[in-house]
Chains A and B, each alone.
Chain A
């Protein structure tokens, strides 16, 4: 495949950034969730 480096870089940046935001969000959520009681969490 021609220009594979550019194509791979585009996809890795896109999916990598989304994945990183998802991981950071999940970790922060886990950390904060234990500090807040369930009865004030609207989604529980």
Chain B
């Protein structure tokens, strides 16, 4: 008998906690936190937008660190490369959500869905870079070649993150400066707003961890299946075996 999933007790605990905290964030974002004095109710998008952006950063940094380990060990084991790939996949999804929710929020506050300003443009560039990274990962079917090529891209692409984060400081941008991780260290959010925002970051970090663990295990399964050619072999043996028993 085989274990029919990539779940373990640890991932189940992470998943349950993620669901619980996400539930709290949604309730708080919609019903408990106050409307903002200038932006009104549209500030409720912030509790989804900001955590997705931070988790996308975290995902791409994780990809770079895992790629660094993968290179340092000369791709002897593919575990780090699989973590790098899984993390980038989740990061691209979160970055897409950042762009979409930011666009909706921008329409309500700025009065426009999109502008080619430094923050928005560098964020789009970061997103496109990692879409390219994921595409490159799928070009080679040999896992070691995949690890070699993609590690180089991951280690270069991560350098874009400081540029994105500090674009609002380096250049004049339509996008507001950071309210929490800013250069002067001040926090410019009311208490409950801040608590809900951090709850969102915790919830999305747990979701990120859950997704990365499962997706890197999925890549492991995929690699194993491809390399060993187990699929056809096991099916054939099973068919033979069942034919032998009934004969």
Contacts and interface: CB of A to CB of B under 8 A. Distances in A.
Interface of A: 1-4, 6-7, 9-11, 13-15, 17-18, 21-22, 25-26, 28-30, 32-38, 40-44
A34 B214 CA distance: 15
Interface in B98-113: 100-101, 104-105, 107-108
Nearest to A2: B41
B88 to A, nearest CB: 13
B107 A13 contact: no
A23 to B, nearest CB: 11
Given A11-B26, A18-B207, A38-B2, A26 B41 contact: no
B15 to A, nearest CB: 8
A42 to B, nearest CB: 7
Size class of the B contact interface (CB-based, 8 Å) = 35 or more
A7 B45 contact: yes
Of B79, B108, B218, B222, the most chain A CB neighbours within 10 A belong to B218
B52 to A, nearest CB: 6
Contacts of B105: 6, 10
B97 A6 contact: no
Contact of B42 (A6, A21, A38): A6
A22 B142 CA distance: 26
Contacts of B146: none
A38 B3 contact: yes
B135 interface: no
A10 B230 contact: no
Given A2-B40, A3-B41, A10-B101, A43 B4 contact: no
A7 B100 contact: no
Interface string B198-229: 00000000010011001101101110110010
